[in-house]
Amino acid sequence: MSRTKTSLLAALALLSGTSAAALVSAPAGAAAAAAPCTVDYKVQNQWDTGFTTAVTITNNGAAKSSWSLQWSYAGNQRISNGWNAKVSQNGSSVTAANENYNGTLPTGGSASFGFQASYSGANAVPSTFTLDGVTCNVDGGPTDPGPTDPGPTDPGPTDPGPGGSKVANPYVGAKAYVNPEWSAKAAAEPGGSRIANQPTAVWLDRIAAINGVNGGMGLRAHLDEALKQKGSGELVVQLVIYDLPGRDCAALASNGELGPNDLDKYKSQYIDPITSILSESKYAGLRIATVIEPDSLPNLVTNAGGTNTTTDACVTMKSNGNYEKGVSYALDKLGALANVYNYIDAGHHGWLGWDSNLGPSVQEFYKVATTNGASVSDVAGFIVNTANYSPVKEPNFKVTDMVNGQTIRQSKWVDWNQYVDEQSFAVGLRDKLVAAGFDSGLGMLIDTSRNGWGGSARPTGPGPSTSVDDYVNGGRIDRRIHAGNWCNQSGAGIGQRPTAAPATGVDAYVWVKPPGESDGNSAAVPNDEGKGFDRMCDPTYGGNARNGNNPTGALPNAPLAGHWFSAQFQQLMQNAYPPLS
């Protein structure tokens, strides 16, 4: 897995203070439970020409297999797009009907959807809502904000205000979610309790993961647990969005369940249900950081034509446009939620660090963030080194170093790259992204879960000055055989612990790849997860063009990608840097 609108929110005016405010149609004092349905209509973000709204309907009557909510506006509000419902408008009248995945509405059940709209003048809340022709009652409201919304007059410690506008860096001032499933596996390992309390990302790597696989926790279970961990402070939940059609076209070990042409299935059965769950009002106080489709867009730049690393699968995905359309759709739908922060995967320095790759990559990122409904306001930042091993910093040499009149970029290891580590790459990439039109507040993430490279093999200073190769090879802490090697690397160690705002322009060091989870199987393993056998995970393989035809450096006896790999976990702890105490 090595291939791995000017900002709307930045321009928000002060919110109007309009919050949950559907009118009560029953007589004053009537019990809310007696109403056949309740509606919670919240303006989340409002600026001088537009607004976004979250709506939750609760059915208190007989169970439904489909539903349709209607209301009318008193002003000139015009809805431009919606999510998790089919929203249409005729004059001032609006209808929101269920999608195919959220039509079932049992007695006591709820469904949530949202939309974006324009307006001028006043933005009054609709006075009446009807569900399938029956008038509904109020749910919450400014005089009864309920347990999950402190209300417009009391924003509370975990709510930036009635609009829930996004913060500059979601990691600052916040705890991060500790996945109890990963934590239990780590704690069960000898010595694992030293890191079992660290936050790691939750990988939604197939449709079934949304509801939980083989009795495991689904998305709602993780979010409910996150609410418990949150307490009275702020908390970030990290989710990996990872199920594109034709996923990972250049790495068989992490292939996915969807075929190259399954874009509609990706939208309706994967992104839409995730968006629906995240938009539920009970989770509005959580900060959600999403890592958007590791490896996908970089593969379109480097492996989809014109190079010796081209694969037929990547050519197909570039030709049909479904990587781009899928990522744009995810950015659009998830980015519209006030508490979601999208970080697009941007490979690593050993993949995109050459100008010939980096320039086209920036163009590709901007294209995807500004087409198919997406905008740059949907992008909080980018992440580098996802599930990879490149160090945050190479302490013993810089890309500008010279040896005997030669630049170290001439060394076989650096190979004319403009960068030698991830932090310099992240900052350099950020500058180019902002120059290309992304928001100036763009933040970068660096995955440090397995890039520590400590232990007895860690060099303590530069190599000898006998040649550029000796200087670099003797001093580099990255002990891989080649920077293109990515699968279960021998000698790797736990890296920097998750940290908020460790450097200018860097939102956080994060553990996106949970230590101890395999990158891929070292021999063919039949499975129902769509995962193939990639020879880069085979320690006996002699390599290919993507790693300079070098040995893979992969550990033996590895299980399928994502499955627990005890031997790797023990190695990572042993070689941790900073060392574990």
Q: Taking residues 389-408, what's their average pLDDT?
A: 97
Strands of the sheet containing 86-90, edge to edge, are 86-90, 93-97, 68-72, 129-131, 134-135
Residue 521: per-residue pLDDT: 95
Residue 138: per-residue pLDDT: 60
pLDDT, greater one: 318 or 116: 318
pLDDT, tens digit, for every residue of 346-371? 999 999 999 999 999 999 999 999 99
Residue 363: per-residue pLDDT: 97
pLDDT, tens digit, for every residue of 209-231? 999 998 999 999 999 999 999 99
- The answer, yes or no, to whether residue 143 has pLDDT greater than 70, is no
Instruction: Kindly state whether residues 456 and 556 are assigned to the same domain.
Output: yes
- The answer, yes or no, to whether residue 555 has pLDDT greater than 80, is yes
211: part of which helix (H) or strand (E)? none
pLDDT, tens digit, for every residue of 195-214? 999 999 999 999 999 999 98
pLDDT, tens digit, for every residue of 493-516? 999 999 999 999 999 999 999 999
Taking the C-alpha atoms of residue 442 and residue 121, their distance in angstroms, rounded to an integer, is 32
CA 454 to each of CA 84, 304, 474: distance values in angstroms, whole numbers, following the listed order: 47, 36, 15
Residue 45: per-residue pLDDT: 75
pLDDT, greater one: 532 or 258: 258
Q: Tell me 267's DSSP state.
A: I
Residue 155: per-residue pLDDT: 30
pLDDT, greater one: 545 or 516: 516
Report if residue 3 sits inside a domain.
Answer: no
Instruction: Kindly state whether residues 284 and 366 are assigned to the same domain.
Output: yes
Task: Give the list of residues 6+ apart from residue 252 with CB closer than 8 angstroms, or none.
Answer: 520, 531, 532, 533, 534
Instruction: Kindly state whether residues 451 and 405 are assigned to the same domain.
Output: yes
CATH of the domain at 353: 3.20.20.40
Report if residue 149 sits inside a domain.
Answer: no
pLDDT, greater one: 82 or 232: 232
Report if residue 166 sits inside a domain.
Answer: no
Instruction: Kindly state whether residues 100 and 185 are assigned to the same domain.
Output: no
Task: Give the list of residues 6+ apart from residue 275 with CB closer than 8 angstroms, or none.
Answer: 83, 84, 333, 334, 337
Report if residue 144 sits inside a domain.
Answer: no
Instruction: Kindly state whether residues 330 and 390 are assigned to the same domain.
Output: yes
Residue 448: per-residue pLDDT: 98
Instruction: Kindly state whether residues 118 and 221 are assigned to the same domain.
Output: no
Under DSSP, is residue 449 helix (H, G, I), strand (E, B) or coil? coil
Instruction: Kindly state whether residues 392 and 327 are assigned to the same domain.
Output: yes
Residue 439 catalytic? no
Instruction: Kindly state whether residues 226 and 345 are assigned to the same domain.
Output: yes
Domain limits for position 358: 174-574
Query: Of the given ranges (29-43, 102-116, 271-285, 452-466), which has the lowest mean pLDDT?
Result: 29-43
- Looking at the structure of the chain, the number of domains it has is 2
Tokens of 276: 């629906």
Residue 34: per-residue pLDDT: 55
Report if residue 469 sits inside a domain.
Answer: yes
Which of 76, 110, 138 delimits the end of a domain? 138
Taking the C-alpha atoms of residue 498 and residue 514, their distance in angstroms, rounded to an integer, is 12
pLDDT, tens digit, for every residue of 249-294? 988 888 889 999 999 999 999 999 999 999 999 999 999 999 999 9
Residue 469 catalytic? no
Instruction: Kindly state whether residues 326 and 211 are assigned to the same domain.
Output: yes
Of 356, 328, 308, the C-alpha closest to 546 is 308
Report if residue 488 sits inside a domain.
Answer: yes
Taking the C-alpha atoms of residue 490 and residue 82, their distance in angstroms, rounded to an integer, is 48
pLDDT, greater one: 82 or 297: 297
CATH of the domain at 106: 2.60.40.290
Residue 35: per-residue pLDDT: 79
Instruction: Kindly state whether residues 240 and 91 are assigned to the same domain.
Output: no
Answer yes or no: are the C-beta atoms of 9 and 45 closer than 8 Å. yes
Residue 307: per-residue pLDDT: 78
Longest dimension (CA), the chain: 89
Residue 27: per-residue pLDDT: 29
Report if residue 310 sits inside a domain.
Answer: yes
Instruction: Kindly state whether residues 213 and 116 are assigned to the same domain.
Output: no
Q: Taking residues 125-145, what's their average pLDDT?
A: 69
- The answer, yes or no, to whether residue 140 has pLDDT greater than 60, is no
pLDDT, greater one: 529 or 156: 529
Percent of the chain exceeding pLDDT 70 equals 90
Residue 15: per-residue pLDDT: 29
Average pLDDT, whole number, for the chain? 88
Tokens of 373: 């409904």
Marked catalytic residue, from 262, 519, 534, 538: 519
pLDDT, greater one: 159 or 138: 138
- The answer, yes or no, to whether residue 488 has pLDDT greater than 60, is yes
Query: Of the given ranges (114-128, 228-242, 317-331, 470-484), which has the lowest mean pLDDT?
Result: 114-128
Report if residue 374 sits inside a domain.
Answer: yes
Marked catalytic residue, from 40, 272, 295, 345: 295
pTM of the model: 0.74
Q: Taking residues 50-70, what's their average pLDDT?
A: 90
Residue 12: per-residue pLDDT: 28
Instruction: Kindly state whether residues 92 and 194 are assigned to the same domain.
Output: no
Q: What is the pLDDT confidence band of residue 412, given thresholds at 50, 70 and 90?
A: very high
Which of 82, 112, 138 delimits the end of a domain? 138
Which of 93, 113, 138 delimits the end of a domain? 138
> What is the tally of helices (H) and strands (E) in the chain?
12, 21
